[in-house]
Amino acid sequence: MKAAAELILKPGKERSLLRRHPWLYDTAIGRVKGTPASGETIAVRSHDGRWLAWAAYSPSSTLRARCWSFAETDRIDASWLAARVHEAVARRAHLAAASDALRLVFGEADGLPGLIADRYADQLVVQFQAAGVEAHRETLLDALVAATGCANIFDRSDSAGRTREGLPPTFGVARGAEPPPRIGIREHRRRSWVDVRAGHKTGYYIDQRDNRELASELAKRARAQLGRPVTALNCFCYTGGFSVALAAGAGEVLSIDSSAEALALARENWQLNGLPEAGGQWQAANVFDALRSLRTDGRAFDLIILDPPKFAASHHHVDRAARAYKDINLSALRLLAPGGYLLTFSCSGAIGVELFQKIVAGAVIDAGVEALLLRRLAAGEDHPLRMTHPEGEYLKGLLLQRL
């Protein structure tokens, strides 16, 4: 394959590509040969002319190029792109037994930088978050239909990342028919309604599937150990995925979210699973304030979930986010009964695993309690991490038990 344009790197800036890291920032580029268009495939070369990678060019972004391949013999065409889609879908085929809500393509991890494709039953939802995949939009949509047999694809490419790529937001039907107002999905023994138009991300937090199942098992374990139904608290509950999971062992689940609309759907999901109305309590409130009020009221819980939204949009917000994470974890630990479990999460990519653990450890110290770290938590298997691209690990969590 021969590209019409080339990126020539500054001396020493080839090291990351030699380690097969897929991103190139503008500060690494010495000069551009030719006039590549947005999303065009270009050759990347070291300052002395050595070929390094095939990449998609993004002239409007500081992340100037995302690498497709580190094999010079590859030809980045429709066949190559379709093969990546089919491989990604096939890798996840075994997960369909657990759920019909799956992430089928996860960007860089699947060799398609910037492309997200999620499946909800027979509906696909996509996000084109980078110039390269946007340039090959129709080819990739065709490949997704062919690989899945799903005729209906809805486009949720309306995130802030599109602006950074110099791309306008897109929202609407990409293939087939309009999605229904709600789509029913299954996840292990549980069911849920998903709104792919207005829901967070592509409609649902697929990445927490395994952690919801863990919460269900912990609730049952705690009930057996205590000899009674447990009390559970789900903070930032969104549409109640963790709430329904906790009901496996809880006599009472208090779910808190600032969105009345999310809480309304959470109630419906509770009913959808045939759970007793008295077992679910719903509170529309600021979680930070609600946690402090619960402590003032003398409440205690056997199992607490903290799954907040992204507190750090970039590395510029890390200090502020660290304070917020410590605040909610400190409050939760003070509400956690001895022997109780805390599942606490961060989806901020700028907050690394080690930093998150350090923040939570600080909350343990300041709460004046003793706690064990039982397990580190992450996204499910359909959100794999390419070992040469650690930035892909955005969701991290800790399972603690108070002594």
- Is 150 part of the annotated catalytic residue set? no
Position of tokens 């997200």?
116
Q: Read off the tokens for 75.
A: 């030809």
| DSSP strands (E only) in 206-295 | 230-235, 250-257, 280-284
How far apart, in whole angstroms, are the C-alpha atoms of residue 154 and residue 258?
27
Number of H helices, E strands in the chain: 11, 20
- Rounded distance between C-alpha atoms, residue 203 and residue 119, angstroms: 10
CA-closest candidate to residue 389, choices 152, 66, 145, 156: 66
What's the longest Cα–Cα distance across the chain?
72
Tokens linked to 147 = 């690989």
Q: How far apart are CA 346 and CA 321, in angstroms?
A: 10
Count of CB atoms situated within 10 Å of the CB of 205: 22
246, 215 Cβ separation under 8 angstroms: yes
**β-bridge partners, 185:** 192
Q: Name the one residue in this structure whose structure tokens are 């045939």.
A: 274
Please, what is the Cα angle at 123 between 396 and 97, to 5 degrees?
60
Residues 6+ apart with CB under 8 A from 8: 29, 30, 31, 32, 33, 45, 46, 47, 49
278, burial (CB in 10 Å: exposed 0-12, middle 13-18, buried 19+): exposed
> For the residues of 309-336, what is the DSSP string, one character each?
--S-SSGGGHHHHHHHHHHHHHHHHHHE
Select which of 67, 150, 237, 347 is catalytic. Answer: 347
C-alpha closest to that of 111 among 91, 96, 138: 91
Q: Answer yes or no: are the C-beta atoms of 56 and 19 closer than 8 Å.
A: no
Catalytic residues: 347
